[in-house]
Chains A and B, each alone.
Chain A
Amino acid sequence: MRLSFRLIMAIVGYIVLTVVAIIYLMPFIRSITASFMTWEQAQRMPPEWIPDPFTTRPFEQILGLKYFPVWLINSVIISASIVTAQTILASMAGFAFARVKFPGREMLFSLLLATMMMPGIVTLMPTYALFSKVGLIDNLLGIIIPGLCGASSIFLMRQYYLSMPQDLFDAARVDGCTFLKIFRHIAFPLARPALGALAIYQFLGSWNSFLGPLAILKSIEKFTLPVGLLFAFNRAWYVEYSPIIAGSTLAAAPTIIIFIIFNKYLIKGIQLTAGKR
């Protein structure tokens, strides 16, 4: 009796989840299929789902655009710098907060956590004002510099180092390591799973980030992919939207691929930040 009730609940649960998942996936699926359609078919009502005729013209159009490769490169430069800097800096700072005793450590860490409570949008205007004074507006560095390190990354790394046994670090100290050597030879190599999660988060965040680049980047040749695509869309460079849809699909591709391949890491990252303290 009880078991069959559970079974029914499970079935209902899965149905609800499936429906919600389909609703969420709809725009994705739509943009993928629509990027292989003629514009004429894509705007038909009611919407059609199977490209007929199948065409790669939207891709050819967007890739043929003079600025598309520039935007792509800008996006790559920004993401690569941020991912690299974050993994190195956050893992060092996280290690210090987790395993190095220094005066004021707890207070500094609380301060750091407090910055996590602040929505990014709040700091956008002050940052803008500051950057305009130092010439970082319309400059890729204006996107990269604020992204070099972040409280949540430090927090994630700290949690990971705390989950490692203290004995390992003590053994390394006795074996002749300074804190820097412990970091290099023990902590950093052992933190690979957390670093993987961190790198993926940071890639997704920087690759898809929109508001910051939109505010800070001014000239066409400085745009990132998301900003560039919106620009192209707004300026009505095309009468048809198919190339824009294809461009968005291309821009989203790394995100989707990473999600499929690395979702174990992503879950690991969530568990880390959710766990103790």
Chain B
Amino acid sequence: MARVMLQGVTKRFGDTIAVNNVDLQVADGEFMVLLGPSGCGKSTTMRLIAGLEDPDEGEIYIGNRLVNEIEPSKRNIAMVFQSYALYPHMTVYKNIAFPLKMRGVPKDEIDRKVKEAADMLNIIHLLKRMPRQLSGGEMQRVALARAIVREPMVFLLDEPLSNLDAKLRVKMRFELRKLLHDELKVTTVYVTHDQVEALTMADRIAVMKKGRVLQVDVADGLFNRPRDIFVAGFIGSPPMNFIEGVVNEHDGALVIDAKGLELPMPTHFQEALKSYLNSEITVGVRPQDIKVFQGKGARGILGYVLGVERLGTESYLHIISGDCTIVIRVDPESKFKEGERIWWVPRETRLHFFDTKTGAVIAKT
């Protein structure tokens, strides 16, 4: 068992900065997920930890050991690849035994450990097969067995579930977490672009964008206290609504002037926004944090119904208000007509404010 620490790690491929000055600490036994869109540098970060790439700058520690100059095979890590990377010319047994054989483990011990790992993953009956005779889910299990058989200090998994069908993927999420985190209690770095996977499996999630780590937090923190507009928009589905505007003063109170609509600012934010007077900010509010009123005597900001998206247990109302389109979660029972006038009110405590230029959250003072 060991922690993993990255300090100021940068990796360039020609002109591309794949990983940009990343600091990351994974605690002993922690299940850390690297989450971000394709091409943001997740795999490269993982490959740096594995030693398959050399950093241009920065330091990487596994345990208390600086591993920059240490071969992948000596870092005491195991890796599961998206493609599984099973050796096609070896049986399942030999695939699982391979890392032990390369380390000169005695034959009878190899045999015992291979069977133990195979048992843990329910693949004893597959040991004599060749990889090409396996289904995707079975290959996945073999790849996992090959990784756990060595009892590594750190587990690295790069989108291990993305080649499985949807149903199996959901099942494997829980199984994987149970195996790696609850049973083996091994430090794990897990890469995915799927936020549901990240939110359901992780102890903490590191959200990445363009080679940078924007926020490292527990799921609740990312969802409720995003520190960056990208994180706010990336986590949550359907995504947070963003309304861009300029901070103005109106009758002594701060409001936001946004493309044809005026958004009053909550009192507890007046102070913090003062310094943004006349500059551009973005207001974020999630679909579930908006109330809608219909008919006579309604209050709030005027909008027109564009349509309703019904997803069975929940429904999403799409409206246009000023020049902004806004998505609002509504009661599936409620009825809306296209073009109907409605009034909407965001929950004041659930508003997020971001500096439009930098994308950074504006903290309450």
Known: A174-B78, A175-B102. A167 touches B73 (CB 8 A): no
In-complex Cβ contact of B85 among A165, A177, A178 (8 A)? A165
A111 contact set on B, CB distance < 8 A: none
In-complex Cβ contact of B99 among A165, A167, A175, A186 (8 A)? A175
Kindly report which residue of chain A lies nearest to residue B149, judged by CB atoms.
Answer: A175
Known: A167-B81, A181-B102. A173 touches B73 (CB 8 A): yes
A176 contact set on B, CB distance < 8 A: 73, 99, 102-103
Scoring A167, A168, A176 by chain B CB atoms within 10 A of each residue's CB, the highest score goes to A176
Is A189's CB under 8 angstroms from B73's CB? Answer: no
Report the separation of the CA atoms of residues A175 and B98 in the bound assembly, to the nearest whole angstrom. 7
B81 contact set on A, CB distance < 8 A: 167, 170-171
Provide the A198-212 mask, 1 if CB < 8 A to any CB of B, else 0. 000000000000000
A113 contact set on B, CB distance < 8 A: none
Report the separation of the CA atoms of residues A136 and B282 in the bound assembly, to the nearest whole angstrom. 82
Asked if B72 CB lies within 8 Å of chain A CBs, one says yes
Asked if A190 CB lies within 8 Å of chain B CBs, one says yes
Q: How many residues of A contact B (CB 8 A)?
A: 17
Is B102's CB under 8 angstroms from A177's CB? Answer: yes
Is B146's CB under 8 angstroms from A175's CB? Answer: yes
Asked if B273 CB lies within 8 Å of chain A CBs, one says no
Report the separation of the CA atoms of residues A173 and B81 in the bound assembly, to the nearest whole angstrom. 13
Asked if B88 CB lies within 8 Å of chain A CBs, one says yes
Q: How far is the CB of B2 from chain A (nearest CB, A)?
A: 16
Asked if B184 CB lies within 8 Å of chain A CBs, one says no
Asked if B171 CB lies within 8 Å of chain A CBs, one says no
Q: How far is the CB of B153 from chain A (nearest CB, A)?
A: 13
Interface residues on B, range: 20 to 34
Kindly report which residue of chain B lies nearest to residue A164, judged by CB atoms.
Answer: B88
Is B88's CB under 8 angstroms from A170's CB? Answer: no
Scoring B78, B83, B85, B99 by chain A CB atoms within 10 A of each residue's CB, the highest score goes to B85
B71 contact set on A, CB distance < 8 A: 173, 178
Q: How far is the CB of A237 from chain B (nearest CB, A)?
A: 52
Report the separation of the CA atoms of residues A46 and B278 in the bound assembly, to the nearest whole angstrom. 105
Is B83's CB under 8 angstroms from A165's CB? Answer: yes
Report the separation of the CA atoms of residues A176 and B72 in the bound assembly, to the nearest whole angstrom. 7
Is B89's CB under 8 angstroms from A168's CB? Answer: no
Report the separation of the CA atoms of residues A185 and B97 in the bound assembly, to the nearest whole angstrom. 13
Is A174's CB under 8 angstroms from B83's CB? Answer: no
Asked if B87 CB lies within 8 Å of chain A CBs, one says yes
Report the separation of the CA atoms of residues A171 and B73 in the bound assembly, to the nearest whole angstrom. 10
Asked if B179 CB lies within 8 Å of chain A CBs, one says no
In-complex Cβ contact of A177 among B73, B79, B88 (8 A)? B73
Kindly report which residue of chain B lies nearest to residue A175, judged by CB atoms.
Answer: B99
In-complex Cβ contact of B73 among A168, A174, A186, A190 (8 A)? A174
B102 contact set on A, CB distance < 8 A: 175-177, 181, 185
A172 contact set on B, CB distance < 8 A: 87, 98
Query: Within A152-168, which residues are at the interface with B (CB < 8 Å)?
Result: 165, 167-168
Report the separation of the CA atoms of residues A178 and B71 in the bound assembly, to the nearest whole angstrom. 9
Query: Within B309-344, which residues are at the interface with A (CB < 8 Å)?
Result: none
Kindly report which residue of chain A lies nearest to residue B75, judged by CB atoms.
Answer: A174
Kindly report which residue of chain B lies nearest to residue A101, judged by CB atoms.
Answer: B54
Report the separation of the CA atoms of residues A128 and B245 in the bound assembly, to the nearest whole angstrom. 83
Known: A174-B52, A174-B72. A167 touches B78 (CB 8 A): no
Is A168's CB under 8 angstroms from B85's CB? Answer: yes
Report the separation of the CA atoms of residues A176 and B70 in the bound assembly, to the nearest whole angstrom. 12
Query: Within A177-193, which residues are at the interface with B (CB < 8 Å)?
Result: 177-178, 181, 185-186, 189-190
Is B89's CB under 8 angstroms from A171's CB? Answer: no
In-complex Cβ contact of A189 among B51, B72, B85, B89 (8 A)? B89
Q: How far is the CB of B50 from chain A (nearest CB, A)?
A: 6
B50 contact set on A, CB distance < 8 A: 170, 174
Provide the B88-103 mask, 1 if CB < 8 A to any CB of A, else 0. 1100000000110011
A189 contact set on B, CB distance < 8 A: 89
Asked if B77 CB lies within 8 Å of chain A CBs, one says yes
Q: How far is the CB of A99 from chain B (nearest CB, A)?
A: 12
Kindly report which residue of chain A lies nearest to residue B99, judged by CB atoms.
Answer: A175
B47 contact set on A, CB distance < 8 A: 170
Is A175's CB under 8 angstroms from B89's CB? Answer: no
B87 contact set on A, CB distance < 8 A: 168, 171-172, 185-186
Report the separation of the CA atoms of residues A181 and B89 in the bound assembly, to the nearest whole angstrom. 15
Scoring A165, A174, A177 by chain B CB atoms within 10 A of each residue's CB, the highest score goes to A174
Kindly report which residue of chain B lies nearest to residue A165, judged by CB atoms.
Answer: B83
Report the separation of the CA atoms of residues A177 and B85 in the bound assembly, to the nearest whole angstrom. 15
Q: How far is the CB of A106 from chain B (nearest CB, A)?
A: 14
A186 contact set on B, CB distance < 8 A: 87
Scoring A178, A181, A185 by chain B CB atoms within 10 A of each residue's CB, the highest score goes to A185
Q: Can you give 28 A-B contacts (C-beta < 8 A)? A: A167-B82, A167-B83, A167-B85, A168-B87, A168-B88, A170-B47, A170-B52, A170-B72, A170-B85, A171-B87, A172-B98, A173-B52, A173-B71, A174-B50, A175-B73, A175-B98, A175-B99, A175-B102, A175-B146, A177-B73, A177-B102, A178-B71, A181-B102, A185-B87, A185-B98, A185-B102, A186-B87, A190-B88
Q: A167-B85, A168-B88 are in contact. List 16 more A-B contacts (CB 8 A).
A: A167-B81, A168-B85, A170-B47, A170-B50, A170-B85, A171-B87, A174-B79, A175-B73, A175-B102, A177-B102, A178-B71, A178-B73, A181-B102, A185-B102, A189-B89, A190-B88
Binding site for A on B (CB under 8 A): 47, 50-52, 71-73, 77-79, 81-83, 85, 87-89, 98-99, 102-103, 146
Binding site for B on A (CB under 8 A): 165, 167-168, 170-178, 181, 185-186, 189-190
